[in-house]
């Protein structure tokens, strides 16, 4: 099997067998715009087939698998947004890992980046468990929601700019549907920082010009309908960044402690 059929019992699967499927960028736009609820939107995200290169890659990985996970069924579908329906903190990542989210069906779940991220979120009160291993493991975000800028695992962890553009309507609509409660947006890495600006604009945020550069701890005041919010930059806890010490546990904790302080302003 190349992917988990929608509505077949996978924990947290938002889709059903009759969930409409986007086959090209125009259909992504239409299905995202007409999603009236987060439930409808995440279901549609999770069955999208609009990027041929990524669909082929995610399904090939799900079929071939990594030896350590050879006995497991891989999700093999896009990773939908996950977390609270009325979050105060939005965490935007790059894209799922081939043997992480693409295997477990949940964002940042089952990979090294997620180990670092969830440990910090737990220490700072934003997640109930320090690990996130598989869908249905009891992990839950507290006052937070996670999204990926590109929802399918890309070869070499590098999405094409066109794939980021294709996926933007899913991101923008999700940001719009939770904007009333959101006070802080954390962009993990420069790619997510770039991706989130047009999504914020489409969701009705007033943004400064020119766009401030990405950096760890970068902080930008934004607003929507007169309600202030903050965009924070955070180095991505990728294996390379954590291995080289560019990102440390302390840096992540400081960042999410700051996010907690800002959401309570």
The owner of tokens 């914020």 is: 200
Interface residue with ligand SF4 among 4, 6, 13, 28 (CB under 6 A) is 28
Beta bridge partners of 147: 92
* Of 56 and 221, CB closest to ligand SF4: 56
**70: helix, coil or strand?**
coil
Q: CB of residue 250 vs ligand SF4: minimum separation in angstroms?
A: 33
Q: How far apart are CA 53 and CA 120, in angstroms?
A: 33
Is residue 151 involved in binding ligand SF4 (CB under 6 A)? yes
Smaller CB distance to ligand SF4: residue 195 or 262? 195
Q: Does 163 bind ligand SF4 (CB under 6 A)?
A: yes
Least Å distance between CB 91 and ligand SF4? 18
Nearer to ligand SF4, 81 or 143 (CB): 81
* CA dihedral of residues 198, 202, 208, 212 (deg, nearest 10): -20
Applying CB under 6 A, among 152, 182, 199, 247 the residue interacting with ligand SF4 is: 152
Q: Is residue 166 involved in binding ligand SF4 (CB under 6 A)?
A: yes
- Least distance in Å: CB of 234 to ligand SF4? 22
- Nearest to 16, CA basis, from 33, 32, 38, 40: 40
HEC sequence for 132-146: CCCCCCCCCECCEEE
206 has which bridge partners?
223
Per-residue x/- mask for ligand SF4, residues 71 to 110, rule CB under 6 A?
A: -------x--------------------------------
Stretch that binds ligand SF4, among 48-56, 197-205, 225-233, 257-265 (CB under 6 A): 48-56
Beta bridge partners of 90: 145, 185
Q: What is the token pair recorded at 47?
A: 């069955």
Rounded distance, CA 209 to CA 211, Å? 5
**Smaller CB distance to ligand SF4: residue 80 or 184?**
80
The answer to whether residues 233 and 215 touch, using CB atoms and an 8 Å cutoff, is yes
Record the tokens describing residue 134, joined without a space. 């598989």
Q: Which residues bind ligand SF4 (CB under 6 A)?
A: 28, 45, 48-51, 54-55, 78, 150-152, 163, 166-167, 170
């Amino acid at each position: 099997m190349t992917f988990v059929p929608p509505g077949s019992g996978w924990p947290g699967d938002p889709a059903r067998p009759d969930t409409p499927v986007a086959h090209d960028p125009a259909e992504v736009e239409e299905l995202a715009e007409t999603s009236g609820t987060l439930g409808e939107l995440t279901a549609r995200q999770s069955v999208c087939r609009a990027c041929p290169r990524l669909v082929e890659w995610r399904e090939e990985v799900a079929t071939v698998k990594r030896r350590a996970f050879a006995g497991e069924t891989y999700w093999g579908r896009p990773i939908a947004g996950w977390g609270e329906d009325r979050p105060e903190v939005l965490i935007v990542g790059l894209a799922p890992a081939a043997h992480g989210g693409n295997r477990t069906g949940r964002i940042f779940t089952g990979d090294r980046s997620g180990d670092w991220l969830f440990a910090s979120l737990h220490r700072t009160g934003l997640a109930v468990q320090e690990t996130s291993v598989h869908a249905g493991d009891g992990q839950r975000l507290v006052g937070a929601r996670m999204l990926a800028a590109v929802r399918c695992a890309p070869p070499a962890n590098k999405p094409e700019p066109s794939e980021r553009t294709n996926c933007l309507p899913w991101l923008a609509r999700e940001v719009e549907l939770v904007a009333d409660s959101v006070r802080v947006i954390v962009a993990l890495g420069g790619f997510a920082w770039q991706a989130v600006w047009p999504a914020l604009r489409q969701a009705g945020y007033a943004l400064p010009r020119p766009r401030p550069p990405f950096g760890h701890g970068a902080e930008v005041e934004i607003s929507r309908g007169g309600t202030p919010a903050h965009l924070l930059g955070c180095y991505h806890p990728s294996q390379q960044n954590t291995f080289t010490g560019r990102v440390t546990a302390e840096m992540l904790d400081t960042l999410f402690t700051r996010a907690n302080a800002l959401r309570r302003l």
